[in-house]
Structure 1
C-alpha cells in the first residue's frame, strides 16, 4: 500500500478548517506539528492547546500500483494532490504547502523497531515484551509500550524508577497514583514491595496496568483502580495508611492532590513526585510543605532532559 502526504503550514486559527477539508477529501489521518519551537504548557481543564504556527500533514492511502484507478477503487487514487493542496492552502491562508510520498512499510515492525531495552539504576532494566532481556539475571520489567504513558523512555519515568531502586521496599505497601502503564508499581513489586495500589483517571491505563502486571507475574500483588473505585475500596478494606506514594503526573494535579495524599500515608511515609520542570519546583514544594518535607531534589542526568526533576521526602503530619 502506498501513501501520499500533503503538508501545509498555517496559523492555529485555520487548523479546524484545514482538517475538515482534508478529511472531506479522503485523508485517513491528520498529524499536527509545531512549525517553530514554541513550548506548550499544562492546559487548564477543557483546554486543547495548540501552537500559534502549525504544520498540518494529511495522509492519504493509495492503492497498489498494479490495481489501477478503477471507478470503484479507493477515491484517493484519482485525486490531483497538487491542485488539492493549493486549493486548501488558499482557503486556510497557508504560508507553505508541499507534498511528500511515504514509502510502504510493515508499520507494526517499524513501530517496534523504535523500542529497545533500557538499563536503569542498580541492575534494573525495562524490556519491550517482544525482546529477550539482554541481562536475564537482572531485574527486568517486561512492558508493552503501546498501551499507556510509562514506557520508560521518558525522563520522568526513569527518575522515579531510579529512585525506587535506592529504597528499601521490602514489606511495603505502595500507592502509584497516575499509574499509566503501571511501570512504577510493577517495578516496585519486582524490587521487593509487598503490595501496590495503582490509580489512574484513564480506564485505558487501568487496563494496561493489569495487563502489564500479568506480563510480569505480579498480578496477585497489584490492584488497579479508577479514583472513585480506589476510594470505595479503601472505605471497605483496611488498607490505609501506606508506607509510600509514587506519583508521576503533572504539576497542577500534583499540587491539588497534596492534602489528599496526606490522608493516605503513615507517619514518616516516603513520597516521590515527578513530571515536573524546573520552573514548577517551588510551587509544588510550597503546596506540599504543610504535609511533607520534600528535601530531595534531583534532575535527570542527561543534558537534553535536565529540565525534568523529581522531588522526594517524607510525611510530617
Structure 2
C-alpha cells in the first residue's frame, strides 16, 4: 500500500493555526517538529542525558514543520487538493505562519513502519553473548543468544554504553544471582543476565512502555514472570518504590546517564547483597572522572573501568 508523506513548513506561532486547519479537514494524526519545543525539552530534562547529537540540533534549528500521511489513492489525492486550497486561504489571511510550503514524498508501508530495522544485525558482545534482532536469524556458534525486539523506543544493544555494560555483565554473572536493572528500557541487560545464568531479575524504568517491551523481549527468550519482574517508577525520588524493590541483589545495573548514576550512588548500598556488584554505564567521557569521584565518596570501590567511543562504564563494590 502506498502513502503520501506530506510536510507543511510554518512558524512556531503558526503551528496551532495549521493544525486546526488540518483538523477541520479531518486530518488529526499529525507529527509536529518544532525547535522551540525541542529546546524547552532539552532545558527541562538535563538529568536524562549528557550528550545531544549535533546533527539533531542542526536539523531542528529554525524548524517548525507539521507532517501527516494520506493514502496514495483517489481519496487521498482529493484530500490533498482540499489541503492546498485551505493553505492558500491561510496564506491570504495570516502573515505569521511562515512560508506554508507544502512538500510531498511517496512511501511504502514497509518504508516508514519498518525501515529502521535494516540497521540492526546480529551483534557479538564480549565472549559469550550474541544479540539477535527478532527479525534476523543467526547461528549462535556456541554463544548465548539474546533475541530482542526493541520497538522504536529503546535500543538493541548496538550503542557503546550497552555493549560496555553487557561485557561487564557476562563477567559478573556466575550463576544463581538476583539482579536489579535500573533504567531497563528494552530489558536487554536484565534479560541477558537471566540468559547468562542469573536466577531472577527485577527491572525498573520511568517509561511505562518498558512494561510491554521488556516483558515481550523476555518471552522471546523463553523467560516468564516467575523469574522476571518489570516495574515502572523513579527510584531516585520514590521511597515507596525503593522499599518495594528491597535489597539483597548480587548485581545492580544502571545504564543511564551521569546525573542519575551520581544520584544512585548513595542508594546502592541498601540494594546490594554483601559482596554484590554495581555495574554502571552511560557515562560520557567528559564526566567520567566526576562520576568516579562521586562513586568513591559514596563508599564504592571501582574495581574495573571500561571505555569505548567516548563512553565509560564502571564495575564497583563496597
Smaller-chain TM-score bracket = 0.7 to 0.9
Aligned CA distance change for structure 1 residues 169 and 94 (closer, same or farther; 3 Å): farther
Does residue 310 of structure 1 match 2:312? yes
Deviations for 1:112-156, whole angstroms, at most 9, x for unmatched residues? 434322222214111122322233532111111217423223332
Is the CA contact (8 Å cut-off) linking 2:178 and 2:199 kept in structure 1?
yes
Aligned-pair CA distance for 1:241: 1.9
Aligned CA distance change for structure 1 residues 52 and 99 (closer, same or farther; 3 Å): closer
Deviations for 1:87-127, whole angstroms, at most 9, x for unmatched residues? 56974554794613222343445354343222222141111
Worse-matched range after superposition: 222-231 or 260-269? 222-231
Is the CA contact (8 Å cut-off) linking 1:274 and 1:311 kept in structure 2?
yes
Aligned-pair CA distance for 1:31: 4.9
Q: CA RMSD in A?
A: 3.8
Q: What is the TM-score normalised by the length of structure 2?
A: 0.75
- Quote the residue 1:303 is aligned against: none
Aligned CA distance change for structure 1 residues 315 and 5 (closer, same or farther; 3 Å): same
Does residue 106 of structure 1 match 2:106? no
Does residue 294 of structure 1 match 2:302? yes
Which whole-Å CA distance do the structure 2 matches of 1:213 and 1:225 have between them? 14
Structure number having the greater helix percentage = 2
Residue 116 (structure 1) aligned to one of 96, 121, 127: 121
Partner SS, residue 116 of structure 1: coil
Does residue 257 of structure 1 match 2:260? no
Partner SS, residue 211 of structure 2: helix
Which whole-Å CA distance do the structure 2 matches of 1:33 and 1:276 have between them? 28
Does residue 279 of structure 1 match 2:286? yes
- Quote the residue 2:68 is aligned against: 59
Residue 175 (structure 1) aligned to one of 155, 173, 180: 180
Aligned CA distance change for structure 1 residues 282 and 273 (closer, same or farther; 3 Å): same
Which whole-Å CA distance do the structure 2 matches of 1:109 and 1:297 have between them? 37
Which whole-Å CA distance do the structure 1 matches of 2:197 and 2:316 have between them? 20
Residue 76 (structure 1) aligned to one of 58, 75, 79: 79
Q: Please list every run of 5 or more consecutive structure 1 residues that lacks an aligned counterpart in the other structure.
A: 301-305
The structure showing larger relative contact order (alpha-carbon pairs under 8 Å, at least 6 residues apart) is 2
Aligned-pair CA distance for 1:287: 3.1
Which whole-Å CA distance do the structure 1 matches of 2:43 and 2:171 have between them? 30
Q: Please list every run of 5 or more consecutive structure 2 residues that lacks an aligned counterpart in the other structure.
A: none
Aligned-pair CA distance for 1:173: 1.6
Aligned CA distance change for structure 1 residues 80 and 201 (closer, same or farther; 3 Å): closer
Deviations for 1:163-214, whole angstroms, at most 9, x for unmatched residues? 2223343232211111111110111111222221211223321232222212
- Quote the residue 1:201 is aligned against: 206
Which whole-Å CA distance do the structure 2 matches of 1:312 and 1:195 have between them? 23
Is the CA contact (8 Å cut-off) linking 1:179 and 1:185 kept in structure 2?
yes
Aligned-pair CA distance for 1:295: 5.3
Residue 227 (structure 2) aligned to one of 221, 227, 230: 221
Which whole-Å CA distance do the structure 1 matches of 2:5 and 2:152 have between them? 28
- Quote the residue 2:171 is aligned against: 166
Which whole-Å CA distance do the structure 1 matches of 2:257 and 2:222 have between them? 29
User: How many aligned positions are there?
Assistant: 296
Partner SS, residue 139 of structure 2: coil
